[in-house]
Amino acid sequence: MATLEKIRSKSVLLLIIVGAGLLAFIIGDFFTSGRTIFGTGTTIAKVDGQKIDIQEFQRRVQEASQAAQNQGQRMDQSVLQQQVLNSMIAEKLFQQEVKDLGLTVTDQELTEMMVGKNSQYVDRMVQQQLGAPDAATAHDMAFNPSKYGIQQAQAQQLQAYWLDLEKSMERMILQQKFQNLFAGTLVANDLDAKALYDDNAATAHIVYAKQDYSTLKDDEFEVSESDINAIYNKEKNRYALDEPRRTVNYIAVNIVPSEADVLAGQKKVEDALVALNSTPEMQGIADMPEFVADRRKISQTDVDKQARLKATLDSLQVGHAALVSKMGNDYAIAKLLGKSSESVSVKMDFMAVQGTKAQVDSLVGLLNSGASLDSIAASPLVAQSQKDMEVSLLDPNYASVKEIIEGRATGVYFTPDTIAEGGRIFRISERTAPVTVYDIASVTFTTEPSNTTVNELDAALRKYVEENKTAEAFVEHAQEAGYTTFPASVSASTPMIGNLNDSHNAVAWVMDAKKGQVSPVFGDLQTGRFLAVAVDDIYDGDFIPARDSQVHNYLTGKARNDKKAAKLIADYQGKANDVAGYAKLMKTSVDTTTVNFGQYMISGLGMNESAIMGKVANAQKGALVGPMQGNNGVIVLQVTEIDKEGRPFDLEESTIRFNQQRGALRMMNSLDRILLGNKKIKNNINTFYK
């Protein structure tokens, strides 16, 4: 009782202590995780108000990673994560769109797609992925596992697979409904089809004279910020941002062997050759773990396909080794351990048989008495059979088979087994003629950067970063320090810096850094490089600003070219009566080319010359056009011939082409970008993955 009284008397103090502890926990969690109180929570991305949960994202990443591994692909994890996130964002936008349109999939439609009259696609899928005969059987296996003797854990996996498959098919049906909805609206009428045909039907042959803007000196055409801003405001939508971006400059130092490492590696190879030539087999490199040896047999036919190996083996005696090749820092050595003449492959028949030894012997007897393999294979005693199976006798995986058929006559069935129950039956149907076989040890060695080299590269870049702590100094002093800086643009959706694998930690740093800040050194021997980054600028608005170096340079060049064009046109306007006359004034030559209104590039004139193409399309034969402004120079031209001897107009063909280029099919191919439109994406991936 005394204890209880004590607790009661101290209750206010206890409440204060507990409250302070809870507050400390909450504040600590806020500052350590950054994802809880007022943070991102479990939302890895948000688009147009729709959230993507981290757990579902992680599950999808795991599935994508497993699929990549199954296909033998190695992907940068950050690239894979961003691809999955992009896919999930597109799905969210599509789901909202079909919801707004009122499109749904009924239970009956899904059932018919999965196990009903429209299940052919799903049938093929489960046949390939599960080995089940059809989708209905796969569903039964998943939800009635005891009927098939399937364990509960495996049944749960099958059920999860089936539910995911249902979601995929539901999405496919919705996509088809969505496409059908617009297929009837985005179609070509007769005028559309004819206009598309006309764009590509006529080819104009022209003669032209062109004076490039580069013939005029840049410093004679001053460009002001107002000139630049005028063009920027006119073309501003070209620089729209869907999320904040940061421009950076980075230095990447590849971790490669130094000159001293290369010389040391060469010495190791020379020592290994001496050791291999003075000791039996591979004993000479037993204490040299950097040298990797693989013993194998190779036929003369295969040797003849490898010129360097053939040249080496032709000059080697048994028991000797020599250098086969050196490519960069990779060395290949071969030691000839033996040389023989033998058959390198056989064709054979094979059976796995159940039953007693006497039954197996009986089947062998029947086969050697003339019974066909197919007739015996139909016996309930035969569990498996294969005819004319090709076996390489040089393949280590068939070493046990080689021992079994060694010395056996061709064309005779036999069993090598003496066990009481079951056995195998073989017959060699064909044996290749003996050829020269080399028993060789292939030894490889790669010169790796030494610890000293790695440490020196690391220390040098760290020293440079320490001495150049601003973005301006980082770029300005790079060349004199022996480094090269590269520009890059980074956003929360950028998985790596400048296409450098395993550099996402640098991206995460950039997105948290301030303008002008220089990063620490990232990377190690595993990533193969050291990396440092400086934040040049931060763009948080809706557009890349005109001050961006690449944008500013482009706009400056365009403004200067506009002024050059105005001068050249004023200088030449009306001063000649034909193209040859203008060519003389321009101090250039007359040239020819062809122009089709549907093409993207005019040979000799360049890309995206839409104004010139429009002038040509409307020009009369023989008429002089220009001088006029092009992207790269001022041009004067004359249409000499209009060729309309193409294919005759076909309404059906042009309608199909319209659908592909401008109609529903084109829309579906660009659907992700169309649905995204000007919606903003909040990408929190760097909060979860530093």
What are the φ/ψ torsions at residue 625 (nearest 5 degrees)? -120, 125
- If you search the block for the tokens 């839409």, which residue do you land on? 610
Phi-psi map region of 206: left, alpha, beta (phi>0 left; psi -120 to 50 alpha): beta
Residue located via tokens 């090269």: 484
Q: Give the model's pLDDT for residue 671.
A: 75
Q: What's the mean pLDDT in 158-181?
A: 86
Q: What is the pLDDT of residue 39?
A: 55
Domains of the chain: 103-183 (no CATH), 203-238+550-643 (no CATH), 250-256+450-502+513-536 (no CATH), 259-342+441-446 (no CATH), 345-431 (3.10.50.40)
Q: What pLDDT, on a 0 to 100 scale, did the predictor assign at position 3?
A: 38
pLDDT-derived band at 380, boundaries 50, 70, 90: confident
Tens of pLDDT, residue by residue over 633-678, are 999 988 888 777 566 766 666 766 777 667 667 777 777 777 777 7
Q: Are 475 and 248 in contact (CB under 8 A)?
A: no
Of 14-18, 227-231, 515-519, 635-639, the one with minimum mean pLDDT is 14-18
Residue by residue, what is the 3-state secondary structure of 576-631?
A: CCCHHHHHHHHCCCCEEEEEECCCCEECCCEECCHHHHHHHHHCCCCCEEEEEECC
Residue 490 near residue 245 (C-beta atoms within 8 A)? yes
Task: Indicate if the pLDDT at residue 464 is higher than 90.
Answer: yes
pLDDT tier, 450 (very low <50, low <70, confident <90, very high otherwise): very high
pLDDT digits (tens, 9 = 90+) for 474-513: 999 999 999 999 999 999 888 889 889 889 999 999 999 9
Distance CA(549)–CA(536), nearest Å, equals 10
pLDDT tens-digit readout, 54-64: 888 888 888 88
Two structure tokens written together for 246? 């940061």
pLDDT of 25:
40
Is 50 exceeded by the pLDDT of residue 37? no
* Alpha-carbon gap, residue 624 to 299, rounded angstroms: 73
| 106-131 residue pLDDT tens | 989 889 888 888 888 888 888 888 88
CA dihedral in degrees (153, 154, 156, 159; nearest 10)?
A: 180
**Rounded (5°) CA angle 405-410-413:** 70
The model scores a pTM over 0.75: no
H or E stretch at 174: helix 152-183
Q: Where are the beta strands (DSSP E) in 525-567?
A: 529-539
- pLDDT band at residue 17, thresholds of 50, 70 and 90? very low
How far apart (Å, rounded) are the C-alpha atoms in residues 380 and 186? 62
pLDDT confidence of 1, banded at 50, 70, 90? very low
pLDDT category of residue 9 using cuts at 50, 70 and 90: very low
Give the DSSP per-residue string, 16-79. HHHHHHHHHHHHHHHHHHSSSTTS-TTEEEEETTEEEEHHHHHHHHHHHHHHHHHTT----HHH
Distance (Å, whole) CA 223 – CA 627: 23
270 membership: H or E segment, kind and range: helix 259-278
Task: Tell me: pLDDT of 689 over 80.
Answer: no
> 536-595: per-residue pLDDT in tens?
999 988 899 999 989 999 999 999 999 999 999 999 998 888 989 999 999 989 888 887
Structure tokens at 389: 């199976």
Distance CA 416, CA 367 (A): 15
Share the mean pLDDT of the chain. Answer: 85
- Residue-level pLDDT at 13: 41
The predicted structure's pLDDT at residue 179: 78
Q: What is the pLDDT of residue 31?
A: 36
Higher pLDDT, 299 or 192: 299
